[in-house]
């Protein structure tokens, strides 16, 4: 299914280990309290990218586990701390004039956000039931779609496709994250 993507990544010098087993995936999901979206799960079972920028899910030494947990929590923490700079979504109602109330409302909306699973650097896949959710790039509160799905993302990040070619009308909306883009 992802042979073309694996070939593309290998041509770009990405190193791989053998794919994760089902038992390893279950252990990883338990450690990090996450659930890999199906497309990412399938990809990681084919091959595990371990080059710089990727996350070595198999390495369960404490320092790596703490590092990945920090990366998983970073977007939520950044939004929480920078709530005053977050784009106000019209669907949330009228923007409060009182800044304290506005901050509370942004943080309340943040609780609806699905966790994000890191893929590469600051690119994440939302933990949703969708077979193949979009990839989101998050740096502080700079949040954009970076691919309509996993394959699209890898073609943008490592291939010749440009991000401006993403078909936004076909992207599954993600609670909270889509609201603030």
Residue at 43 is within a domain: yes
Give the model's confidence band at 170: pLDDT under 50 very low, under 70 low, under 90 confident, else very high: confident
Short-list 75, 62, 70, CA closest to 126: 75
Cα-based distances in Å from 170 to 69, 163, 166:
31, 14, 9
Taking residues 81-93, what's their average pLDDT? Answer: 94
Residue at 10 is within a domain: yes
Tell me: pLDDT of 154 over 80: yes
Q: Domain with 66 in it: what CATH number?
A: 3.40.1580
Residue at 87 is within a domain: yes
Residue at 175 is within a domain: no
pLDDT at 63: 97
pLDDT at 116: 96
Taking residues 34-57, what's their average pLDDT? Answer: 97
pLDDT at 111: 94
Q: What is the pLDDT of residues 100-116, one digit of tens each?
A: 999 999 999 999 999 99
| Residues contacting 165, CB < 8 A, separation 6+ | 156
Taking residues 57-79, what's their average pLDDT? Answer: 97
Give the model's confidence band at 145: pLDDT under 50 very low, under 70 low, under 90 confident, else very high: very high
Residue at 176 is within a domain: no
Short-list 108, 122, 130, 121, CA closest to 35: 130
- The C-alpha atoms of residue 40 and residue 166 are separated, in whole angstroms, by 19
Q: Which domain holds residue 107?
A: 3-170
Residue at 181 is within a domain: no
- pTM > 0.85: yes or no: yes
Say how far residue 40 (Cα) sits from the centre of its chain. 10
Residue at 158 is within a domain: yes
In the chain, the number of structural domains is 1
Residue at 105 is within a domain: yes
């Amino acid at each position: 299914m992802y042979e073309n993507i694996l070939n593309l990544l290998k041509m770009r010098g990405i190193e791989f280990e053998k794919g994760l087993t089902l038992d390893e995936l279950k252990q990883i999901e338990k450690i990090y309290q996450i659930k890999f979206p199906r497309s990412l799960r399938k990809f990681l079972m084919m091959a595990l990218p371990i080059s710089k920028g990727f996350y070595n899910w198999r390495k369960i030494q404490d320092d790596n586990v703490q590092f990945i947990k920090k990366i998983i929590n970073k977007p939520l923490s950044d939004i929480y701390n920078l709530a005053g700079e977050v784009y106000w979504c019209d669907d949330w109602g009228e923007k409060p004039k009182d800044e304290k109330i506005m901050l509370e409302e942004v943080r309340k909306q943040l609780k609806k956000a699905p966790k994000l699973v890191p893929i590469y650097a600051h690119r994440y896949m939302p933990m949703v039931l969708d077979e193949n959710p979009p990839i989101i790039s998050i740096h502080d509160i700079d949040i954009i779609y970076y691919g309509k799905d996993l394959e699209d993302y890898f073609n943008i990040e490592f291939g010749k496709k440009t991000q401006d070619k993403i078909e936004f009308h076909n992207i599954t909306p993600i609670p909270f994250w889509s609201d603030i883009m």
